[in-house]
Structure 1
């Protein structure tokens, strides 16, 4: 059985006249990739504290995926996966900065060296769309190189190698953009300016710095959340104001599309780059948060919208990943991607109700260390690290974690244990061996680096 194992079940249908309708006009493309927004940090995924009416309303216009994932648990690698459509071993970005994070005395292995910049030989979504007639705009956080214009974008609004602002209020200090109020508001103001001047078709990658730290409250909203009771581990009023303000800005974007009469011909993808930051927000019943490969670190709010093509008010339990965005976007743009050898799948058959199942293994690879933020309050495997070197595979309802330091294995049935509390590796030994076989074959296919060198500074 090959690594890219896909089982597709088709729903057979016949149109009234048997004609395959071709859509001649290319859809505009907007990807909304929020920074550090957790799986349940929005109303449509069940938050009772954060208020996101505009995002919630938009989600009802398309298909929500309750098992949507980022291909990595933190910022830069997740964004590299989205932009290239490639698993992490293919571009070599595994974390932000050095892979030697945390106390060296606690790191048993020498981690794989991390690529800090996306190599320019990688074909990006922006470059592909631009070469096929799209005007391309990046707005907000880029984080993959010094300038998104070098990766296929025609317009850059505030993007650089910087991962977060020093302040959301001017002076922003490290964000190259004309100052003008709260940063999230300013970037949307300039984004709407792009929409006002561009003719179709266009590709907008809207990647706000919010809601990444520093947690910087929107003062006009503070009284409301200070008086509001928290729920399910969500009670940070300052963070809540950032979420609501972001939601208001997304509402402005949607209003502009409607005003220009282009909403109906615009594919919108909404997601986040990784899980919410544990200690600021929680995603109960998911375990842990950003930087961890438990569900709280990689499962994201995720939906697609395109009028008359994607079924409205629909929900799918099919596991997907942000690797699927690139081929799906190209499908709706009418662009052949056969030569790109993308690792994700075109989801259009799922989105349009032609397919009811899509079963294939999903992988995560992190041959690095990532220190814990709050050793006294976390849901990680141990209190020192959010991530120790290892790999993860999800296949169907099963999810396996493999750790390189000691060859330890954790196996969970997510259908019965979404919180990953009951390790079934000993009880379900056949399933464990099956999952390990898929994982090891994938290592070979992708030439995934496996750290084996012992750290001489390690103290057992």
Structure 2
């Protein structure tokens, strides 16, 4: 069933009806298990369920089909570390202070990258603060066995998952990308190499499944945090060939890129390497879901699926297209922050139901506590709201503003800016020149028409609310670079347009060529099959 047909069904139905299954009635005193699946850099349209005709994700689609789909689901940031910190703390990024990916240059250090930008990015908190009561700590206090596998990227040694409430940590450390790639041998002090050529995503799934199997008689909270689909993108020769042929059958477009404001941006989903990486990650999700079924735990296990930011359409690996959403990872538009956001609660009849209520990564914390019947911690998850009423078919009448703060330049072309969404209105405030963009997401979900001048009163009201909120949480702001050289900046812009853009088009065609070979062993994947 496509998301379009499901939407029509949900709209016709008009209300969401929930009920208790026989299982729930017989197990009212048994707390549910939780499996939280977080994918890195997966765009909203990178699933077949959400509209991709190129990528194939049957296992993730199943989570959506059996759960509730939040069509207005957001990450708390356009890049990884801030978004992940918001899931763990229940706070917006400006409040917890991790506003950029940990390791990014800031202040005067930004100049060494030769970006020639007008501002010096703000400093930020460089590790998840010890005084935060993380989601894992709250679950552990509530009697849950806690497990983490995969990407952490929330601090160096001393600020790893095991330092923030996880009983077991497999693969989580300070790095934000898979050092050594997706096929063993990789470099990760928290994940030993066992078999040359082993696929990283499947390995993390197996570790998660092993944990579930060993603790099937307890109550567990398992957090599976894939390194996929972050670059460097890699796949097997078999999967590459499958998707190369699929791209050819669908018709390879002459042009795959256009210029956004700063960098080229991918316009088509036709990268067979990325498609294979997505499928391998989906295979790994399927392995975990099958484990739950085989152990007969699926009727009492809540499964949550989301991504930490939009798909990489610019910069880094130029992996995917987020169209019709504008932008992608690092960008201030919907393509940078709108995510797949699925919650499956097996004892609620949620199949095919959509929620149009705007939700965000900070909402997971109170929602999980609420579903687990653990007392909420409102002073901790200050910027989150329990979504349990929506899951149980009850409306939420509160209209609340959502805030994003990114006083940095993104590797992908995003600009230093802060955002507020309130109802259908979204305002973006740019720190370089103080301008505002205003979009009506109900009538213009793809952000093509800036209404800031047509609706100056709404613009000013949202701007004031945004600035007042940033002031209230002592948000750091970028500073003007007194050494900015417009001539050097112009030369960089010309090189991007005249050299990088055509190079990307050539690279895209090369990857789709029948003779493409990245190296002799396809990143070591030819040693074993994934």
Question: Which moved further from structure 2: 339-348 or 241-250?
Answer: 339-348
Partner Cα distance (2:16, 2:172) in 1:
45
Choose which of 198, 206, 221 in structure 2 pairs with 1:203.
221
Q: 1:450 to 1:203 in 2, by over 3 A?
A: same
Find the aligned partners of 1:308 and 1:356 in 2 and give their Cα distance. 21
- In the alignment, is the contact (CA less than 8 A) between 2:402 and 2:420 conserved in 1? yes
Matches of 2:174 and 2:245, distance apart in 1: 38
Assess if the C-alpha contact under 8 Å between 1:34 and 1:272 holds in 2: yes
Distance change (3 Å), C-alpha of 1:14 and 1:234: closer
TM-score for both structures, normalised by structure 1: 0.89
Q: Is residue 318 from structure 1 mapped to residue 345 from structure 2 by the alignment?
A: no
* 1:170 shift after superposition: 1.6
C-alpha distance in 2, partners of 1:15/1:62?
13
SS in 2 for 1:340: coil
2:51 equivalent to 1:34: no
Secondary structure at the aligned position of 1:338 is classed as coil
**Who is 1:377 aligned against?**
none
Larger Rg: 2
Contact 1:40 / 1:47 at 8 angstroms: preserved in 2?
Answer: yes
Query: Residues 18 and 348 of structure 2 are in contact (CA less than 8 Å); yes or no, is this contact kept in structure 1?
Result: no
CA contact (8 A) 2:240 2:273 kept: yes
The within-5 A match list for 1:38-53 is 38-53=43-58
Q: Please, which of 189, 205, 217 is the counterpart of residue 206 of structure 2? A: 189
How far is the alpha carbon of 1:12 from its aligned partner?
A: 12
Q: Please state how far the C-alpha of 1:438 moved relative to its aligned partner.
A: 1.9
Output the CA distance in 2 between the equivalents of 1:12 and 1:256.
Answer: 29
Q: Write 1 or 2 for the structure with the bigger share of helix.
A: 2
In the alignment, is the contact (CA less than 8 A) between 2:369 and 2:376 conserved in 1? yes
Once residues 98 and 182 of structure 1 are traced to their aligned partners in structure 2, the CA distance between those partners, rounded to angstroms, is: 28
Identify which of 317, 328, 339 aligns with 2:367: 328
Match of 1:134 in 2: 144
Any conservation in 1 of the 2:18–2:349 contact (CA below 8 Å)? no
Shift of the alpha carbon at 1:447? Answer: 2.0
Distance, in Å, in 1 between the alignment partners of 2:322 and 2:437 is 21
Separation (CA, whole Å) in 2 of partners of 1:238 and 1:105: 29
CA gap 1:200/1:392 in 2 versus in 1, 3 angstroms: same
State the Cα distance separating 1:182 from its structure 2 match. Answer: 1.2
| Alignment-derived partner of residue 420 in structure 1 | 447
Deviations 1:27-82 (A, max 9, x none): 11111110111000001101100000111122111100111100001111110011
Classify the secondary structure of the residue corresponding to 2:181: coil
Q: Does 1:77 align with 2:82?
A: yes
Q: Is the 8 A contact 2:63 2:342 kept in 1?
A: no
What is the CA-CA distance between 1:406 and the residue it aligns to?
A: 1.4
What are the ranges of 5 or more consecutive residues in structure 2 without an aligned counterpart? 1-14, 252-266, 487-530
User: Matches of 1:150 and 1:33 in 2, distance apart?
Assistant: 20
1:222 deviates by 2.1
RMSD: 2.4
How many residue pairs get aligned? The number is 434
1:98 — aligned with what? 104
Secondary structure (helix, strand or coil) at the match of 1:156 reads strand
Contact 2:228 2:281 survives alignment (8 Å): yes
Residue 186 of structure 1 aligns to a residue whose secondary structure is helix
Q: Give CA deviations for 1:378-410 in whole Å, capped at 9, x if unaligned.
A: xxxxxxxx2332210111111100012211100
Alpha-carbon shift at residue 356 of structure 1 (Å)? 5.8
Q: Is the 8 A contact 2:366 2:377 kept in 1?
A: no
**Per-residue deviation, residues 302-350 of structure 1 (Å, max 9, x unmatched):** 1100112362210111111011000000001111123534111000001
Residue 221 of structure 1 corresponds to 239
2:500 aligns with: none
User: Would you say the 8 A contact 1:217–1:239 is kept in 2?
Assistant: yes
Q: Does 1:160 align with 2:173?
A: yes
Q: Could you report, residue by residue, the CA deviation over 1:401-435 in whole angstroms, capped at 9, with x for unpaired residues?
A: 00122111001111222221211110111111121
Deviations 1:154-208 (A, max 9, x none): 1111111111113111211245312231111111111111011013310011001
